[in-house]
Amino acid sequence: MNKKISLSAALTLVSAAAFAAGPGTTGASFLKAGVGARELALGSAASVLAEGANSVNWNPAGLAGLKTKSLSASYNMLFLDETQGFLGYASPLSGGSGVVAGGVNYLTVTNIEKRATDTEAADSKFDNTNAAYTLSYARPEVASGLDLGASLKYISTKLDSNSDQTVAVDLGSVYKLNEAWKTALVVQNLGGSIGPDKLPLTVKAGASTGFLQGKLSAAADVDWLANDERFYLDLGAEYLLSKNLAFRAGYQFGHSQDKLGSGLVGLGAGIGLKFDRFALDYAYVPFGDLGDTHRMTLGFVF
């Protein structure tokens, strides 16, 4: 585009990535923002602990253990005119032959000002829209204790009149070491580029265990964002006060390199409520100078 974007619009677009730009800045940055209040409250330590249809975004192999149909919906007001949402559905196949799932993850930034000259009033406004449409399949017990999953993504981005599309693949595994420990390995956004930029290729490895007769779960993940030249360490824990109420907290280390300012950048905290087939999850996730975010997710099993 030959027209200038105002400073406020530029800051808005930066916030859409949830990570500050670095020497390896990538395209389709909305894919790094994270989906699901429960998983974000755990500090993104979710390669093993992701549940239900939200596993589409974290580890497709996590779908393999589903015994009932799962529906998940998230909607988040983020920064300025930025909104994010996710709708996902997962269903076991008959005969124990696996689990299929689908989802759409979107992020929009509206009312971005466009100027041809350095004037106070904008000439016009435009939007930035991003979406990833995902189809997933997972199969349990491919080998003893090993679940595998894969996702195919169609990714689209549009900034004013400029648009780009591409496809990518996620590959995931969950391995049960013993009754106490599970491990996971995930490769996300495996593909080429979108427009002139590489996709945010991510390798995520993690482990989880339980304590207190299953009331307390703890997990740790290591995230390597290969094309962004970033490493993060995610630690998270969930305590079940009762079958209806859970408390969660986590922290993602490594955000000092993202230059998001002072504050509790990397923290996640939240609660979860379950009533029969219905679940409501909340997460508080601060982003330093960009502000605090509050995430809500509704889930149903049937």
% of the chain beyond a pLDDT of 90: 64
Q: How confident is the model at residue 12 (pLDDT cuts 50, 70, 90)?
A: very low
Residue 134 CA to residue 300 CA, distance in Å, equals: 19
Is pLDDT of 16 > 50? Answer: no
1-14 mean pLDDT: 34
Of 26 and 257, the structure prediction assigns the larger pLDDT to 26
225-236 mean pLDDT: 94
Element (H, E) at 216: strand 216-225
Inter-residue contact 221 to 185 (CB < 8 Å): no
Inter-residue contact 137 to 164 (CB < 8 Å): no
Question: What does the longest C-alpha to C-alpha distance in the chain come to?
Answer: 66
Q: What is the pTM of this model?
A: 0.86
Inter-residue contact 48 to 59 (CB < 8 Å): yes
The domain defined by 4-20+28-294 carries CATH number 1.10.3720.10 = no
24-47 mean pLDDT: 90
Torsion of CA 103, 39, 164, 291, to 10 degrees: 130
Residue 189 CA to residue 155 CA, distance in Å, equals: 10
Mean pLDDT (the chain) is 87
Of 213 and 116, the structure prediction assigns the larger pLDDT to 213
Is pLDDT of 230 > 50? Answer: yes
Residue 197 CA to residue 211 CA, distance in Å, equals: 44
